[in-house]
Amino acid sequence: MNISKMVLISIGLAMDALAVSICKGLSMKDISIKNSMKVGIYFGGFQAIMPLIGFWLGDLFDEFLVSIDHWVVFVLLVIIGINMIFETITNNKESFDDRIDFKTMFIPALATSIDALAVGITFAFLKVNLLLAILLIGLITFIFSFMGVRMGNKVGKKFENKAKILGGLILIGLAIKILIEHLG
């Protein structure tokens, strides 16, 4: 597999993390370069680790993982989206979530990287430079996530609660899109 194909795969894998990072930026009151980088590291790190795990699993659990990955992503993104909308609607004051600790970021980072696990499984069957693939996937996801947090925060400051509700709806829409693609 050539480098241009790996870059395209990396960009495709980074799109879910970009969407969730924008939503995270919507919910943050003040962001710094450091905090944007932390979000990028969570998403980029998970995206880089999952293909490695998938590669090692190879065809051991291939059929099982492919049969449920879309359901796991669907459930996690819907829960995050509904929670985001619910918190915005039930809290009349501005509700911001500046937390970027492991407990807060684990589920979104895991949910957006499950596709990368499946890609890693396919890497086991192809002649792929695994180190290059992992580096590209992690770096591109880091960049997209970093930019997503910053973009989401700018939109969030302009539109406040409406933007957070929209962010929740986007996550639910993304979950439905992923489920339809895998079932259809």
> For the residues 130-139, what does the mean pLDDT come to?
96
pTM over 0.85: no
What pLDDT is stored for residue 39 in this prediction? Answer: 96
What pLDDT is stored for residue 109 in this prediction? Answer: 93
C-alpha–C-alpha distance, residues 67 and 103, integer Å: 27
Residue 125 predicted with pLDDT over 80: no
> For the residues 157-180, what does the mean pLDDT come to?
77
What pLDDT is stored for residue 181 in this prediction? Answer: 84
Amino acid, single-letter form, for residue 103: K
> For the residues 20-49, what does the mean pLDDT come to?
92
Mean residue pLDDT across the chain: 84
What pLDDT is stored for residue 66 in this prediction? Answer: 66
Residues 6+ apart with CB under 8 A from 59: 121, 124, 125
What pLDDT is stored for residue 91 in this prediction? Answer: 66
Looking at per-residue confidence, does 2 or 87 come out higher? 2
Residue 110 predicted with pLDDT over 80: yes
- The dihedrals phi and psi of 83, each to the nearest 5 degrees, come to -60, -40
Which long-range contacts does 65-71 make (Cβ < 8 Å, 24+ apart)? 65/117, 65/118, 65/121, 66/118, 66/121, 69/114, 69/115, 69/117, 69/118, 69/182, 70/178, 70/179, 70/181, 70/182, 70/183, 71/179
pLDDT above 70 coverage of the chain, percent: 88
C-alpha–C-alpha distance, residues 51 and 66, integer Å: 14
DSSP structure class, residue 60: S
pLDDT (tens digit, 9 = 90+) per residue, 88-109?
Answer: 777 644 455 778 999 989 999 9
Residue 61 predicted with pLDDT over 70: no
Q: Among 123-132, 138-147, 153-162, where is mean pLDDT lowest?
A: 153-162
**Contact by Cβ (8 Å): 121, 51:** no
C-alpha–C-alpha distance, residues 36 and 41, integer Å: 9
